[in-house]
Amino acid sequence: MTTPILHGPAYSTYVRTARLALLEKGVNYTLDSFDIFEGIPTEQSARHPFNKVPALTHNDFVLYETVAICRYVDEAFEGPALQPESAKDRARMTQICALLDNYAFAPALGVIIWQRLVAPMTGDAPDEALIATAVPKVENAFSVLNAFIGERDHLVGDQLSLADLHLIPNYFYFLLTPEGVALTQKSPNLKRWWENMRDRDSVKATDPEMPG
């Protein structure tokens, strides 16, 4: 079986989630990195018809969408399970991934992180009004996640799952913003979750560097 290739830049949150899954699973892989700020390569457009990242190629199999890639990694390779055994916990894992994609990442990454971290790279001042509209949306998502965690150290069940891996990259960037620091203080269970996640070998091995 050939080595799978993950296509996308190391600084991408979704690429990092897929890398985390590959590392936690113990899969040897190749990262085909490119800078999306310079445009999507033609080869990537052929792999991903919506011009996003990541995509995964494995032998003659081509796959895009991060949740699908991570499930494939978990189910196609030997290694620690990244999905819970019980139907209820698997459903909760899927629910959290969808929650993050639909309600948390757009205001957190698309607005707050972008305005605080990316806009200054191009000489633009952060849009404070836009940030202010995004904060309550992220706060609501954090409140839901905080309740899901409860007294546990993981988002679902007693062990690491794809839900944890889905959140880690965006949470990492979010904590680089004052809004992220402030909202984390209001979500003690989520704060404890991050303290448990940040020292994992896979997380430290994938710490990103922003292009600049």
pLDDT in tens, 163-185: 999 999 999 999 999 999 999 99
pLDDT (0 to 100) of residue 103: 97
User: Shortest CA distance to 177 belongs to which of 92, 96, 88, 113?
Assistant: 113
Residue 154 — very low, low, confident or very high, per pLDDT cuts 50/70/90?
very high
Superfamily of domain 5-76: Glutaredoxin (3.40.30.10)
**Percent of the chain at pLDDT exceeding 70:** 98
Give the residue-averaged pLDDT of 76-99.
Answer: 97
Positions of CATH 1.20.1050.10 in the chain: 87-205
pLDDT (0 to 100) of residue 209: 74
Positions of CATH 3.40.30.10 in the chain: 5-76
Residue 45 — very low, low, confident or very high, per pLDDT cuts 50/70/90?
very high
pLDDT (0 to 100) of residue 36: 94
> Is residue 53 within 8 Å of 9, Cβ to Cβ?
yes
Query: 62 - beta bridge partners?
Result: 57
43 has pLDDT over 70: yes
Q: How many residues does the chain have?
A: 212
Q: What does the alpha-carbon distance between residue 177 and residue 175 come to, in Å, rounded to a whole number? A: 5
Q: Could you give the angle at the alpha carbon of 109 between the alpha carbons of 83 and 90, nearest 5°?
A: 15
User: Shortest CA distance to 109 belongs to which of 33, 204, 7, 17?
Assistant: 17
> Is residue 170 within 8 Å of 105, Cβ to Cβ?
yes
97 has pLDDT over 90: yes
pLDDT (0 to 100) of residue 1: 61
- How many Cβ atoms from other residues are within 10 Å of residue 57's Cβ? 17
Structure tokens at 147: 């309740």
> Is residue 173 within 8 Å of 13, Cβ to Cβ?
yes
Structure tokens at 94: 């899927």
Structure tokens at 112: 């707050």
Residues 87-205, CATH architecture: Up-down Bundle (1.20)
pLDDT (0 to 100) of residue 210: 56
Q: Which residues contact 113 (CB under 8 A, 6 or more apart)?
A: 170, 173, 174, 176, 177, 180
pTM: 0.96
pLDDT (0 to 100) of residue 52: 97
